Structure 1
Amino acid sequence: MTELSHVELSTIMARVRTALVGIDNVDAGLLADLQQAEQWLDSRPLPLPVDVHVGFIDHKCGGNHYAAFSRKDLIAEIAQFCREWWSDIRDKRDPATLDDEQVAEIYFERHEDEYLWTERISVAVSVPESVSPLRIGRHLVISTSHIRPSTADLLDQWAPLLPEARPLGVAEAGYGWFVLTDPLDGKAPEMAPPELRAAIDFARAQGCRWLLLDRDADCVDGLETFDW
């Protein structure tokens, strides 16, 4: 697997958690830990530590430093130097016909006065004490056409209520509503219309904590649409 961003890691965790919700006898603590890990990743203001491939060529005119995010890219830069000075090693092979690893290996094995050093190092990011972590979340935006007008009326009724009086988390958003995608419990599954539950499940499957139903947004495949 290639390097992943915070958002990609959090999305994978959300997809795993969503898949586990539908399985009997799943440890509730595991689901809670996964959700906490998603929130932790979403709140990190800076990237995770990253591996960097570095290299140094000691040659007759001094030295060259190289750095790349993969060994392949690093060796490609080093091979460019080797091809430029290929005549120094008096090798009859055409470096253009060799891959980058071969070019570098042959060049420094045959050259008596030049040397190559490479290493992979992990670069950690330090967070300044004066910087408070920002909590950054994700939401999915879809058209209000994915719910019935009668469901829109329900959302209008629920949004002004106190949080404990709402069957689900919802807030008015100008020309639509923000809806929390956490699994519904209590009487919420009975009170929420089926197309709204489907939209919530769809957003949660994409790793989104919130669903934004917006009048001007596009419709998406996989969800029913309704005429207003």
Structure 2
Amino acid sequence: MPTPDLPVERFADVSTAHLSPGDRALLDLYIETEGADGLSCLVGPYGWLVYASSELRAAEHVSPSLAAILAAARAQRCGYVLFDRDGLQLDGVQTYNF
């Protein structure tokens, strides 16, 4: 069987500390509503994988820090941002304590 030529996506890996309580609620809402509302994402026990174009759909609801991270991801040709509790904190981007 030939090896398929798979599409490859880049992703950014940052700390969940950059997600405000409101951002976290939007991510959880997407999961709770089975994709009907909130920000497009997958969730796991240690964070979220967010589609980098989610901000375009819900721009008025996200924090400035999340909007900046998603814009930077798109500018750097990343399809997704992995918000990981062990991810790196970015200089100059607001963090939240949980």
Deviation at 1:132, TM superposition (A): 1.6
**Taking CA–CA contacts closer than 8 Å with sequence separation of 6 or more, which of the two structures ends up with the larger relative contact order?**
2
Distance change >3 Å, CA 133–CA 160, structure 1 → 2: farther
Structure 2 distance, partners of 1:180, 1:162, is 15
Moved over 2 A (4+): 159-163, 191-195
Q: Provide structure 2 residue ranges, at least 5 long, that are not aligned to the other structure.
A: none
Structure 2 distance, partners of 1:147, 1:167, is 14
- Give 1 or 2: higher helix fraction: 1
Q: What is the number of equivalent residue pairs in this alignment?
A: 97
Counterpart position of 1:156:
28
The higher radius of gyration belongs to: 1
Deviation at 1:147, TM superposition (A): 1.5
Question: What do the CA deviations read for 1:98-144 (whole angstroms, capped 9, x no partner)?
Answer: xxxxxxxxxxxxxxxxxxxxxxxxxxxxxxx8222112211101001
Deviation at 1:227, TM superposition (A): 2.0
Q: Which secondary structure state, in structure 2, belongs to the residue aligned with residue 141 of structure 1? A: strand
Whether contact under 8 Å (1:160, 1:171) holds in the other structure is no
Structure 2 distance, partners of 1:141, 1:197, is 15
Superposition RMSD on alpha carbons, in Å? 2.0
Q: Provide structure 1 residue ranges, at least 5 long, that are not aligned to the other structure.
A: 1-128
Percent identity of equivalent pairs: 34
Query: What is the correspondence of 1:1-228 to structure 2 with a 5 Å cutoff?
Result: 130-163=2-35, 165-182=36-53, 184-185=56-57, 188-228=58-98
